[in-house]
Amino acid sequence: MRGILASSIGVTCAAALALPLAPPATAADARPAPTAEAATRAAVTARPDVPGSTQSLPLRPLTRDRASGADVLGLAPRAVRPFSLLGVVWDDPAAELHGRVQVRTREAGTGAWSDWRYVETHYADHGADPGSAEGTADGVRGATAPLWVGESDGVEIRVLPEPGEGVGEGEVTGVDEPGAGDHSVLPPGLRLELVDPGDEALEGPRTGVMSAEATAASAANSALAPLGTLEIPELDGEQTRQEYLTLRGTEPTEQQRAKPYIGPRPAIVTRRGWGADESLREKRFVYTGKVKAAFVHHTASGNNYKCSQAPSLIRGFYRYHVRSLGWRDIGYNFLVDKCGRIYEGRAGGVAKPVKGAHTMGFNTDTTGIAVIGSYGSKKPSSSAVKAVARITAWKLGLHGMNPRAKTYLKSAGGNLYRKGKKVRLNVISGHRDGFNTSCPGGKLYKKLGTARSKAARYQGR
């Protein structure tokens, strides 16, 4: 089953899941010489004329841990082309990685190796619904969460299997005793994906041949922002309501004039603004019905980023989701950085009910908002929580939903609710409310009550 075992969820302390301590770095470690395999170890999946690229490196047995008898898979220290984000993928999207993934990277320019960091292994729940066209498409893969490491040109990775155990966040540097396991329990086809998101946002929108449906859907953004701008401007409540009703071709009723309950639209950085290469994604769009709820996530990619780097992170997530995991587009509908800036995620129009791939089992009639970072042990910024409140007040308000209320959603299947079960959930829910997972991290989850209250106030309730 594609779901995560309940016993493995909630394990958020990576220090309890560390691998054996590696020998101290030597001069050779700092600058590992290329091997004879250098020409074949990286499968570049991006065309040379497209900013950004992906290197895919198969993992191999490294050694056998004497304490547990388990084979450690991975890669010895090696030089690679520059990258900034990494993750591990495998062939079967229904398989789980019961193990601990530890990486260290070499900073480009300085040659300094980082401490060991951990990759969150449970990420399948950030995905398309079971049995859906996107979830069963050819080329869909299982994967860990992506980890942002900054510009790097060297990498070392180790994967130690430990059945039934999860992995914590990606910023812990300590090591503990290993667990037992056998590499036969690891999913086949394990490989390391090294993502270069590209240096800068693109100068203009990059589109392939667009269908009539895609062209019409893209007009939703044009209606919300002047042609050529990179940011959808902020509007007050009255402008938002009138604009939305104009787009729908209807006039407001007396009741709507009196109580619109649509929060002001916050400024939103468009896909063009963060540099989306539109040739990567599928060209057609998929829409759901009324947006009845918002699921809040964290990207589990670590907190070691500057807000000015957020567009690079999002381009990395986008490439990882599409090229490495085989999804049709980035999974989230919106993203929020720790400075509180909001970004358009999956294409199709920010005002439209675009179906995402963010909460397995509950992607229908919902929208997914990911706060960039890891929030199991670190509190989210007040700016990020405020941004979640602002985008939900507007997005949910367009569909008449009260952020403080509850609603019913039908499960498409998962490890908490069987397929077809109607579930009563908060209109603003955390990922863990629909799937047994630690996402969006305990510290962010505790702030959802604040986000609900603020969103309701933004709606004038």
- pLDDT per residue as tens, the chain (461 positions): 434 333 333 333 333 333 333 433 333 333 343 343 333 333 333 333 346 999 999 999 998 766 566 678 999 999 999 999 999 999 999 898 988 999 999 999 999 999 999 999 988 788 889 889 999 898 999 999 999 999 999 999 999 877 444 444 444 333 333 333 444 478 999 999 999 999 764 444 344 444 555 455 545 554 544 444 577 777 766 666 555 555 444 444 554 444 579 999 999 999 999 999 999 999 999 999 999 999 999 999 999 999 999 999 999 999 999 999 999 999 999 999 999 999 999 999 999 999 999 999 999 999 999 999 999 999 999 999 999 999 999 999 999 999 999 999 999 998 899 999 999 999 999 999 999 999 999 999 999 999 999 999 999 99
DSSP 8-state assignment for residue 309: G
* pLDDT at residue number 298: 98
- The Cα 267–Cα 225 span in angstroms is 10
pTM for this model (two decimals): 0.80
Q: Which residues contact 131 (CB under 8 A, 6 or more apart)?
A: 412, 413, 419
* pLDDT at residue number 243: 57
Q: Taking the alpha carbons of 42, 54, 355, 375 in that order, is the dihedral positive or negative?
A: positive
296 bridge partner residues = 369, 430
Structure tokens at 434: 């629909």
- The Cα 98–Cα 104 span in angstroms is 20
User: Is the distance from CB of 131 to CB of 149 less than 8 angstroms?
Assistant: no
Q: Taking the alpha carbons of 391, 350, 431, 116 in that order, is the dihedral positive or negative?
A: negative
Q: Which residues contact 268 (CB under 8 A, 6 or more apart)?
A: 231, 232, 334, 342, 343, 344, 350, 391
Q: What is the distance of C-alpha 440 from the center of its chain?
A: 11
* pLDDT at residue number 244: 54
**Residue for token pair 């388990």:** 70
Helix pair 448-458, 382-397: axis angle to 10 deg: 50
DSSP 8-state assignment for residue 258: H
Structure tokens at 74: 């991975």
- The Cα 240–Cα 396 span in angstroms is 12
Structure tokens at 332: 């989230």
